[in-house]
């Protein structure tokens, strides 16, 4: 048994497929939560560091999530303030090193959970952007730490099959790892201009029912641009359709997945006491 963490919602964004919108959803969900004044930490658990780069941050010498998992830095030392009021625990290529050494460690999959626990009630929300590799130790860490897994599904051709396959992979992985958080489905890259897409959405709701959020994230040029600018959509284009989509999704998530306390219990505030200066790497 792991200890309950009633005051923090840890949401991991998963799908073994790359390019389905995990990072986009992670960054902009964190941005929308922060825009509402919610204390939120975004953890980039992908060695490709796309979420880190999408917020205009790059890791040079400062500690990242890799050093935290390798027990070389405390989580608070690695957290950086990022645009839009998001606190970021950035990724670096050294995450690959953690994957390598984890074979020699006892319970390597519990390290992320331990680090989040060490942050106490500083954050109400922890959003974890997962790598596409579902069977690795990084994803195992995310699942072990999560209060809910968010399965991100691209609503294009074969979306239902894709979603069912992603769910199957998720369940197999979770069972192998002995910890299976509840899962909720979020549809992304939705193009409502086609009847086909609308029918698909109905089919997905039919299959997943309550487990699927009503909000789908529509395809948007602004969302595609945002990572290059290094800003979440709420900062880049607050009145855009994409910002409205993420606001609606955030509303649903706050209604259904908020930690058990309704008021912010963070005594030390949403930002870390002494965050290191982020390294700007604007594209």
Ligand X SMILES: Nc1ncnc2c1ncn2[C@@H]1O[C@H](COP(=O)(O)OP(=O)(O)O)[C@@H](O)[C@H]1O
Query: Residues interacting with Mg ion, by CB under 5 A?
Result: 22-23, 50
Q: Which does residue 224 touch among Mg ion, ligand X, none (CB within 5 to 8 A, set by kind)?
A: ligand X
Q: Which stretch binds ligand X (CB under 6 A): 56-64, 86-94, 95-103, 219-227?
A: 219-227
Please give the full DSSP string across 225-278, using - where no structure is assigned.
HHHHHT--HHHH-TTSHHHHHHHHHHHHHHHHH--S-SS---SS-SS-SSPPPP
What's the closest the beta carbon of residue 132 comes to ligand X, in angstroms?
A: 6
Report the alpha-carbon distance of residue 202 to residue 102 in Å, rounded. 42
Task: For ligand X, give the closer residue by CB, 23 or 173.
Answer: 23
Report the alpha-carbon distance of residue 190 to residue 198 in Å, rounded. 9
3 state DSSP class of 24:
helix
Task: For ligand X, give the closer residue by CB, 134 or 140.
Answer: 134
| Contact status: 219 vs ligand X (CB under 6 A) | yes
The number of angstroms, rounded, from the C-alpha of 120 to the middle of its chain's C-alpha atoms is 19
* Size of residue set near ligand X by CB under 6 A: 16
Task: Using CB under 6 A, pick the residue from 12, 16, 23, 80 that binds ligand X.
Answer: 23
Task: Using CB under 6 A, pick the residue from 57, 70, 197, 217 that binds ligand X.
Answer: 217
Would you tell me which residues interact with ligand X (CB under 6 A)?
A: 18-24, 50, 188-189, 217, 219-220, 223-224, 227
């Amino acid at each position: 048994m792991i200890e309950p963490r009633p005051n923090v919602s840890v949401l991991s964004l998963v799908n073994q497929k790359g390019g389905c919108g995990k990072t986009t959803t992670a960054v902009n969900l964190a941005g929308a939560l922060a825009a509402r004044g919610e204390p939120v930490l975004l953890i980039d658990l992908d060695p490709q560091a796309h979420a880190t780069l999408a917020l205009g941050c790059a890791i040079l010498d400062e500690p990242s999530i890799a050093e935290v998992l390798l027990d070389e830095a405390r989580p608070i030392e690695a957290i950086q303030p990022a645009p839009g009021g998001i606190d970021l625990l950035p990724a670096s290529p050294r995450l690959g090193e953690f994957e390598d050494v984890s074979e020699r460690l006892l319970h390597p999959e519990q390290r992320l959970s331990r680090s989040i626990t060490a942050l106490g009630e500083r954050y109400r929300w922890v959003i974890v952007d997962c790598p596409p590799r579902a069977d690795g130790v990084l994803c195992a860490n995310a699942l072990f730490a999560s209060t809910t897994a968010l399965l991100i599904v691209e609503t294009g051709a074969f979306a239902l099959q894709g979603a069912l396959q992603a769910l199957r992979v998720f369940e197999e992985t979770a069972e192998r790892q002995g910890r299976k958080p509840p899962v909720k489905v979020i549809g992304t890259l939705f193009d409502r201009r086609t009847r086909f897409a609308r029918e698909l959405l109905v089919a997905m709701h039919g299959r997943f029912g309550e487990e699927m959020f009503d909000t789908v994230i529509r395809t948007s040029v602004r969302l595609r641009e945002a990572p290059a600018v290094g800003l979440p959509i709420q900062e880049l284009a607050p009145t855009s359709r994409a910002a409205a989509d993420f606001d609606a999704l955030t509303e649903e998530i706050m209604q259904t997945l908020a930690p058990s306390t309704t008021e912010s219990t963070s005594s030390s505030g949403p930002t870390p006491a002494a965050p290191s200066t982020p390294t700007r790497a604007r594209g």
